[in-house]
Structure 1
Amino acid sequence: MAAVWAAAFPVVSSLGPHRVWGASACVGYLCAAVAVLSRRSLGRAVSVWIAGIGAVLVPLVVLVLTGGAQSEVGVVERAGLLTVRQGTPYLADPQAVVEVTPYLPGMALFGLPGAVVADGWEPLRYLGDARLWCAAAFLGCLWAAGRVLGARACSQSPARRPRRPARTLATPGGNPSTSSTRASARRAESTHRTPRTPHRTLRTRPRGTGQLVGAALIASPVVALPLAVSGVDLPLTGLLCLALALAARHRPVAAGLALALACSLKWTAWPALAVVAALLAHRSGLGAAVRGTGVAVAGTVLAVLPSALLAPGPLVEQVFAFPTGRGEWETPAASPLPGRLLADLGPFGWYAAMTLLAAGGVAVAVSLWVRPPAGLVPAADRLAVGLCTAFLLAPAGRFGYLALPVLLSVWARLAEAPSRVAPARSRVVAAGSAARPVLVGGDR
């Protein structure tokens, strides 16, 4: 299926980077399928590596060396250069749509390496490509989120089974019981003994399967395509994953810091504030939710405030008006989604789309209040629903935006599964030890 999806890009796409990715990824996915069908012991692991090389490594290297990329890569690199020169990533008077910066100031961080090596040695300039740093941030956030979840799972190791005291069966005369009485006692105890659960039923995954599944997720089209041709949404996705993982593990301040970084990249991350606050309130209490939200809001304000003071007009025009279809330049995000189709009907359609968008946001907020998420997976699903609603009903959008909520939902399920192994084992051992009755206690 992935090979068929990739094969369509060289045929139907009008964008050169997409065609390059489609051709390379199609070959990689086909070779990966052959490796799986080989039925060798290492076929699955080898197939994942082949898919990653064909869908991620080869197209990324080719596009970086040839300078092929979507327009937003150049926008981010220019934002970093402008931040170094004037302190703000926005041009005061853009002359073309490619000169508009529709991101919050935090996104300029991924353009700073390009600004540093812009006038340096020619081979060194390739290291300034914003996609490389976006990919590094995304992979680093996923690794950190996995460490947070894994550390929690390891801390829930099963307790050591206590030693049972010696048992003697008392007789009416005070003498020790005979051998036949002991045998009957052992038979009576065996009828109440809980059978030991085999070790193989406690392990939900073989060792190394988690890393293999994570590599398969990165090699999938939902990650490989944006990573190779653009990558600007990947840091946002990685930070949201990290914030959800930290909130699920009772770390409100760290979750707030991750949220602050995400919210300073794009304002589409702002709905995550409500989801993370609801998750913290349910799992750690109202105080933790207040602390996490306060850190997130304060950090976002500190990141955006310098640009808001230096260039308030360009910031509002390019970050908020332009993506919603109300700016001077028409946004290239024009996929035929419901909100876009409504906005094309004129001013009335635009207001109708914005009304539906607001209603969808209110509905998600009410659901968080009535039934707050109790764990990582429900929180990721609720955030994914909110983002899908926003992307579908926004006056301007593109199909590629939907990869973000899909990735959030899939990642949460893959990341949470290994952490269930230790708690399950602990419950079984505790149940087994508690089920054994002691007839008559005594000391050795």
Structure 2
Amino acid sequence: MSLVLDFALYALSALFAWITSTSSTLPAHRAWGEFAVWGYGAAALLVFVFFRKRLWLTILAWIGTALVPLVILAQRGLYQEEVFVVEESARRFLETGTPYLDRAAIAALPEPLLAYTPYQPGMAIFGLPRALIGDYWWTDARVYFALATAAALFGAARLLWPHRHLVRAIQFATVLPLCALTLATGGDDLPVLALCLLAFAFAARERFGWAGVAIGLAAAMKLFAWPVALVLGIYAVSRRYTVAAIGVPLAAMVPVLAINANSFVENVIRFPTGQGLVTSPAASPLVGYLIAQHLPNGRLIALALLLAVGFGLAAYLAKNQPRDARAVAIICAIGLLAAILLMPSTRFGYLLYPVAFAFWAPCLRNVEPR
């Protein structure tokens, strides 16, 4: 049955890549589809040949559908805007000590949208190679997103190997088009996702200090990791976890806040919540976006629904503490799915978090501490 599901995954992904190559309005997405369709097609054909090497086929499929297209797109200069944003934030960090511009500086630029950096300060590290060395394909931020993702996933897989559900979980964090397309064209979500999965794996082994380090690094890059850190903390109840999970993102934030707190608020809080000088390009037609666009006071209604879901999950956690890392991953998957659906500004691509968490959860069950 596993081989049939593998074949279905690769075959349907090949179909998605072909449709993307012929119908997408984004040049980077079309280029990804043109190359990824061959990687998925080859993987589908080889499923029943390398039936004893499912993990190796998954790795080869990831290389063919994400890493090779990434390199080609980097050489051609095709990317989503977040790549440019991260690289520019690194240049600003080197020049001013902060990756952010304040509201007045953003307003003075001809392209204010690309001047916003809606990430935590740690994300700028991926833009440092280009800022320090210059414009080469191998200094593209996506190359370093991919390296960080591979390292974190390797560590997570080693912790959980040889769990029988692990290959499927890795597939849904790598070769699933939601992940492969994102890594090749933009990439900033993948190291955050991989670090969350690594934190789950450490927690399953009851190595809570290292779980705190992993989720702390993710939280230093993107706000999506913060609710994961909170739920993990409710399960872990460990001083070492708490110190690392809070200390790492604080170490990234405090210097930036000391230099210019207003610029941090403008980029990380006001812009994503629709209070910036320009509207966020995150506009996939999910529930929250549709409410915000088509109902009177729709943005407030969507935010109220989002808060209601948050309070509901908090009430559930107050009465039902997670008993294992599997429960943590499931709760995080449900919570992030609800948040992504209800946020006034959102993207389909963000769904990679709850999808990967849901398929990672079975690997966290019946894992012995070590």
Tell me the TM-score normalised to structure 1 length.
0.73
Change in Cα spacing, 1:35 to 1:418, as seen in structure 2 (3 Å) is: farther
Q: Tell me the residue number matched to 2:332.
A: 383
Which of 342, 345, 355 aligns to 2:304? It is 355
Partner of 1:188: none
Aligned equivalents of 1:213, 1:257: Cα separation in 2: 22
Structure 1 position 374 matched with structure 2 position 323: yes
Mark the CA change 1:242 to 1:217 in structure 2 (over 3 Å): closer, same or farther.
Answer: closer
Alpha carbons of structure 1 residues 330 and 241: separation in structure 2 relative to 1, 3 Å:
same
Work out which of the residue numbers 196, 213, 225 in structure 2 matches 1:257. 213
Cα shift at 1:418: 9.2
Q: Against the structure 1 CA distance between its residues 243 and 47, is the aligned structure 2 distance closer, same or farther, given a 3 Å change threshold?
A: closer
With over 3 angstroms needed to count, the CA separation of the structure-2 counterparts of 1:69 and 1:248, relative to structure 1, is: same
Q: Distance in 2 between matches of 1:348 and 1:217?
A: 37
| Alpha-carbon separation, structure 1, partners of 2:346 and 2:51 | 44
Instruction: Name the residue aligned to 1:323.
Output: 272
Deviation at 1:344, TM superposition (A): 1.6
Q: For the aligned residues, what is the CA RMSD?
A: 2.6
Match of 2:150 in 1: 139
Distance in 2 separating the partners of 1:323 and 1:19 = 27
Instruction: Provide the residue aligned with 2:6 in structure 1.
Output: none
CA contact (8 A) 1:377 1:409 kept: no
Residues 1:248 and 2:258 aligned together: no
1:116 aligns with 2:132: yes
Q: Which residue of 1 aligns with 2:120?
A: 104
Q: Distance in 2 between matches of 1:48 and 1:235?
A: 18
Distance 1:137 1:40 in 2: 28
Return the alpha-carbon distance in structure 1 between the equivalents of residues 292 and 209 of structure 2: 40
- Cα deviation per residue 1:406-429 (whole Å; 9 max; x = unaligned)? 11221333x447957x99xxxxxx
1:25 and 2:36 aligned: yes
Q: Is the 8 A contact 2:201 2:364 kept in 1?
A: no
Q: Does 1:2 align with 2:18?
A: no
Per the alignment, residue 357 of structure 2 pairs with: 408
Q: Which moved more, 1:393-402 or 1:11-20?
A: 11-20
Q: CA deviation at 1:99?
A: 1.4
Q: What corresponds to 2:192 in structure 1?
A: 236
Residue 404 of structure 1: how far off its partner (Å): 1.4
Q: For residues 95 and 215 of structure 2, what CA distance do their matches in structure 1 show?
A: 28
Moved more, 332-341 or 213-222: 213-222
Equivalents in 2 of 1:64, 1:40: separation in Å?
Answer: 31
Cα distance, 1:327 vs structure 2: 1.1
SS in 2 for 1:84: helix
Cα deviations across residues 202-255 of structure 1 (Å, max 9, x unaligned)? xx75xxx95697368522313211111111001111111122222222223222
Q: Give the aligned partner of residue 165 of structure 1.
A: none
Residue 91 of structure 1 pairs with residue 101 of structure 2: yes
String of CA shifts for 1:1-44, please: whole Å, max 9, x gaps: 1111112212331111111111211222222222235x566685
Distance 1:46 1:110, change over 3 A: closer
Q: 1:309 to 1:67 in 2, by over 3 A?
A: same
Deviation of the 1:310 alpha carbon: 1.3
Q: Which runs of 5+ in 2 are unaligned?
A: 1-11
Report the alpha carbon displacement of residue 347 of structure 1 after superposing the two structures with TM. Answer: 6.6
Q: Is the 8 A contact 1:381 1:408 kept in 2?
A: yes
- Work out the CA distance in 1 between the residues paired with 2:56 and 2:249: 42
Equivalent residue, structure 2, for 1:58: 68
Q: Is 1:392 the equivalent of 2:348?
A: no
Contact 2:326–2:365 (CA under 8 A) maintained in structure 1: no
Q: Is the 8 A contact 2:90 2:99 kept in 1?
A: yes
Which structure's relative contact order is higher, taking Cα pairs within 8 Å and 6+ residues apart? Answer: 1
Tell me the residue number matched to 1:442: none
Q: Is the 8 A contact 1:102 1:318 kept in 2?
A: yes
CA-to-aligned-CA distance 1:123-145 (integer Å, 9 cap, x gap): xx222111111111111112222
Give aligned-pair identity as a percent: 38
Q: How far apart are residue 328 of structure 1 and its match?
A: 0.9
In structure 2, C-alpha distance between the alignment counterparts of 1:87 and 1:116, rounded to whole Å: 14
Once residues 49 and 89 of structure 1 are traced to their aligned partners in structure 2, the CA distance between those partners, rounded to angstroms, is 34
**Structure 1: gaps of 5 or more residues:** 154-203, 282-287, 424-444
Measure, in 2, the Cα distance between the counterparts of 1:240 and 1:41. 29
